[in-house]
A and B are shown apart, each in its own frame.
Chain A
Amino acid sequence: MKTILGWLGHQFLGLLQELGRIMVLLLQALSWLVRPPFRIRLYFKQMEFIGVNSLFVVVLTSLFTGMVLALQTFYAFSMFGAETLVGATVALSMTRELGPVITGLMVTGRAGSAICAEIGTMRVTEQVDALTVMAINPVQYLVLPRIVAGFIMLPLLTIVSDAMGILGGYLVGVQLLDIHGGMFMNKIQEHVTLADVYNGLIKASVFGGILTLVGCYKGFYTRGGAEGVGRSTTQAVVMSSVLILVSDYFLTALMF
C-alpha cells in the first residue's frame, strides 16, 4: 500500500515538475517575442511546415469524420423522425468539438513529432550548443517561431476542418441518405451560432500552442543519442495528445 502511494506521489511530483519546466520554456520564448532580432522568415517557414503542409491530412480526416457522424446520427435520429437535424448536429459537433480536436491531434502526429525529432537531433549532435556558441539564443531561434506558428495556423486549419466536416455530412446526409438539402442547410443556420465557431477556434489556438510547446520542450531536453530522440518524440506525441484532450474538457466547461 505504502509503495503504491509512494509511487503515485512520485509520479505526480514528476508531472508537476515537468509542467513547471514547460511553463518556464514558454515564458522564456515569449520574452523573446518583443526583443530583436526578429527573424520573420523563420516564422513563415514554420507556418508553412505546421500549417500548409498539414492541410491534406486535415482535409481527409475531417471529411470522413463528418461523413461518419452523419451516418451515425441519421441512424439514431431516424428512430424518432428527426432526420433533418443531422446537418445541425454534424455542424455543431464539428465547430465546437471535433474540428479543433481532430486538427490538434493530426497536427500533433504530423508536425509535433517532427518538431521534437528535429530539435532533439539538433540537441544530441551539439547543433543547439553551436547556436549558443554563435551568440544566437536557441529558444529565440528554434522554439519561439514554432510556438507562434502553431498558435496562428491551428485556427486556420480548424476552419478548413469545420467546413470539410460539414461537407462530408452533406454528402452522406443529402446525397446518400436523401435528407432534403434545403432543410439540412436551414437547420444548420438555425442552430449554429458564430460563438460556436469562435470558441472552437480559441480551442484550436490553445491546442496549437500546446503541441508546438511540448514538441519543442521534449526536443530541447533530449539526451542519449538516437535512442533518446526516439524516446522524446514518443513522449511528445503522447503528452501533447493527453494535454489536448484534458484541456479540451476544461476549455469546453469554461466557454460553453
Chain B
Amino acid sequence: MQQDQDIIHIESLYKSFGDFRVLDGLDLALEKDRVNIIIGRSGGGKSVLIKHIIGLLKPDSGRILVRGEDIVPLNERQMARVRKDFGMLFQEAALFDSLNVHENVAFPLHEHTSKSYSEIDEVVQSKLAAVGLQGMDRKMPAELSGGMRKRVGLARALALEPKIVLFDEPTSGLDPVMAATINDLIQRTRHEFGATCIVISHDIDATMKIADNIFMLYQGRIIARGSPREIRENSDPVVRQFIRGEAHGPIQVN
C-alpha cells in the first residue's frame, strides 16, 4: 500500500482562524528518505501546515498519519512520544537564549536519554562538527550570526537522531553563501543522518537544486507535486507564475 511508504500522509485537512480558511481540504503524501520541499507564498499556510505535522496546531477536521498513526486525536502525552521521532529547525532557530551553544545542543539529550555527561559531550561535539561549528561551545546565542544560530539549531534538531527533520524557511534572511551552506546541510541531513527532510521554502532556485519532491501549496491546497523537472514543466499558470517569480498572472497580490 502506498500509505506504508509515506512517512507523512495527510487527508482532507481543514483549518480556519476565525473566518479565514488557511487549509482548505489539503491532501499531502510525503515519501520516506526524501528531501520534500513545500513551496508557496508567504502567509499562504506553509507554517500552519508544518505546525500541524508536529502537532503544535490541531486541525478543524482531517487526518494526519505519521508513519501510519493518526496524530490528530492524540493527547499531549501521546504526542510527546511521537515528537521524539522529529527534529525541527525553526525560522529564527529558537535557541534557548539563557543557555550557551553546548547546553542548547545537549538539552534534548539531557532530557530524553540516560547518557552520561561525557557521552553527551561526545554527541554534542560530533553534531557541532557536522554543522561546521567546532569550538563554539561556550558562545551564547546572542553572540552568533543568523547563519550560525540556524546551524546550532540544526545540530540541536539532529541531537536525538530523529527520523524526520522539519525545516521552517531555513534560508530566509541569510546571505547567498550561508544559504548555500544551509542547503548543503539539508542534503547531508538526508544522506549522512538518514532522516526524511520536510522543508518549507519560497526560495525557488535552492528548491530546484536540492529537492527530491516539490509540493506547491496555494489557497489551502496542494495544487502541484513532482520532481524539480516536473514542476518546472508544469503547465498550471499559477505554478508557472510562482516559480518564475512574475508579478502578473493568476496569483493576486493583496
Contact = CB atoms under 8 A, between A and B. Distances in A.
Contact of B94 (A37, A125, A136, A137): A125
Interface residues of A, number: 14
Nearest to A129: B56
A37 B80 CA distance: 13
A135 interface: yes
Interface stretch (B36-44, B81-89, B194-202): B81-89
A135 B81 contact: yes
Contacts of A129: 51, 56, 90, 94
Interface stretch (B14-22, B106-114, B232-240): B106-114
6 contacts: A129-B51, A129-B94, A130-B88, A130-B94, A133-B88, A135-B84
Interface of A: 37, 121-122, 125-127, 129-130, 132-137
Nearest to B85: A135
B88 A135 contact: no
Interface in B33-81: 51, 54, 56, 76, 80-81
B111 A127 contact: no
A135 B78 CA distance: 10
A135 B80 contact: yes
A127 B96 contact: yes
B104 to A, nearest CB: 10
A134 B111 contact: yes
B111 A136 contact: yes
Contacts of A130: 88, 90, 94, 96
Given A127-B96, A137-B76, A132 B56 contact: yes
Contacts, number: 45
Contacts of B97: 121, 125, 127
B80 A137 contact: yes
A136 B92 CA distance: 20
B91 interface: yes
Contacts of A133: 54, 56, 83, 86-88
Contacts of B90: 126, 129-130
A121 B94 CA distance: 11
Contacts of B54: 133
Chain A CB within 10 Å, residue with most, of B84, B86, B90, B91: B90
Nearest to A126: B94
Interface in B154-210: none
B92 A135 contact: no
A246 to B, nearest CB: 33
Nearest to A35: B77
A121 B76 CA distance: 23
Nearest to A130: B94
A134 B91 contact: no
Nearest to A121: B97
A91 B77 CA distance: 50
A130 B83 CA distance: 11
A90 to B, nearest CB: 41
A132 B92 CA distance: 16
A121 B51 CA distance: 19
Contacts of B107: 134
A37 B86 CA distance: 20
Contact of B92 (A37, A122, A126, A134): A126
Contacts of B111: 37, 134-136
B149 to A, nearest CB: 11
Pick the 7 closest A-B CB pairs, nearest first. Answer: A126-B94, A130-B94, A135-B80, A135-B83, A133-B88, A126-B90, A134-B108
A86 B80 CA distance: 60
Contacts of A136: 80, 111
B84 A127 contact: no
Contacts of B83: 132-135
Chain A CB within 10 Å, residue with most, of B51, B54, B111: B111
Given A125-B97, A135-B111, 13 more contacts: A37-B111, A125-B94, A126-B92, A127-B97, A129-B90, A130-B96, A133-B83, A133-B87, A134-B107, A134-B108, A134-B111, A135-B83, A137-B76
A133 B94 CA distance: 11
A59 B56 CA distance: 44
Contacts of B56: 129, 132-133
A125 B94 CA distance: 6
